[in-house]
Amino acid sequence: MRIPILLLMTALLPCAPALAQTDAVPQVKVGATRDPVDKSYRKMMQGVDRFERDHALAPQASLRFRLLPRQPGVDMQGVKLRIAGDTVSVPLPLSEDNSFAPVRNEQALREDAVLIANRKATTMSWRAQVLTPGLPPGTRRLGDLRLECRTGMDSGLISNDPAIISWLSSMLYSTDKVCSEPDGNYLFFTDRPLLGVTLVHGERRVALPFKMLYAGGEQTPASLPYCDCQVLLDRSYYAPLWDQSWPDDTLLEFDYMDEVAP
């Protein structure tokens, strides 16, 4: 859910007319971490519960959570993550794509533990990752994305916005609204820069409009740092989660900027 948060944040900023991304900056490696990324373990497990409850949207899919770069220059190599409570400390091994499988730990739940990464709070964002195995390369399944949105929202993992913005956002936007209404605006990301996305179901094919790519094209230099698409703008898209005329088995086919045209 980026645009609502973005709108709230930009309300507190000077207006800026131009569209652009931030300039590239040198990569920064953070050693000892003050103000580390941390998320509520209980909230994350609420997302796991939601995934299990709504699994019919993607019956073959499994759930992971994935860490994504949020700021320019963040080093995504060697990220370490653990569940930390008063007495419990459980390392969560990350795969090459910086994703991890959630684990249930009753003691961590009792201790209201947090997930702590060895990166500063604003440098990374999170997403649930719901993947049905065996899909054609360069595609996602709409039911997976619907479940990913619900799981991600219930997990409260969406970036580290300032507390007041998170509070305002949670007041205004529930999981059901964000994941079931046309103005929900839950952002998804691909692994490579996008030129187009096409919905495919049986004989039906239609491209998503430009307004559903690149975070809606609504970012300005002033607002971009408050979007967790900050360094992933060219990989971001919205999916028509709300449109039941496109069933869960609908595929989204990606046309990447770096692919040679047929």
Smallest distance from another protein to CB 21, Å: 4
Per CB under 8 A, 195 contacts another protein: yes
By CB under 8 A, name the one of 59, 73, 91, 217 that touches another protein: 217
Residue 83: DSSP 8-state: E
By CB under 8 A, name the one of 114, 199, 227, 229 that touches another protein: 199
Q: Which residues contact 25 (CB under 8 A, 6 or more apart)?
A: 72, 73
In angstroms, the CA 18 to CA 23 distance is 14
Per CB under 8 A, 19 contacts another protein: yes
By CB under 8 A, name the one of 65, 214, 226, 237 that touches another protein: 214
Whether 173 contacts 183, CB under 8 Å: no
- Amino acid of residue 43: K
In angstroms, the CA 155 to CA 42 distance is 8
Q: Which residues contact 193 (CB under 8 A, 6 or more apart)?
A: 234, 235, 256, 257, 258
Smallest distance from another protein to CB 185, Å: 9
Closest CA to 113 of 50, 38, 166: 38
Whether 44 contacts 67, CB under 8 Å: no
Per CB under 8 A, 192 contacts another protein: no
CB atoms within 10 A of CB 86: 11
Smallest distance from another protein to CB 84, Å: 30
Q: Closer to another protein at the Cβ: 54 or 218?
A: 218
| Site size for another protein (CB under 8 A) | 46
By CB under 8 A, name the one of 35, 73, 210, 249 that touches another protein: 210
By CB under 8 A, name the one of 105, 208, 225, 253 that touches another protein: 208
Closest CA to 234 of 251, 217, 220, 222: 217
Residues 85-144 that bind another protein (CB under 8 A): none
Per CB under 8 A, 251 contacts another protein: no
CB atoms within 10 A of CB 145: 24
Per CB under 8 A, 183 contacts another protein: yes
Q: Which residues of the shown chain bind another protein in the complex (CB under 8 A)?
A: 7-8, 10-13, 15-17, 19-24, 72, 164, 167-168, 171, 182-183, 193, 195-196, 199, 206-212, 214, 217-218, 220, 223, 231, 233-234, 240, 255, 257, 259, 261
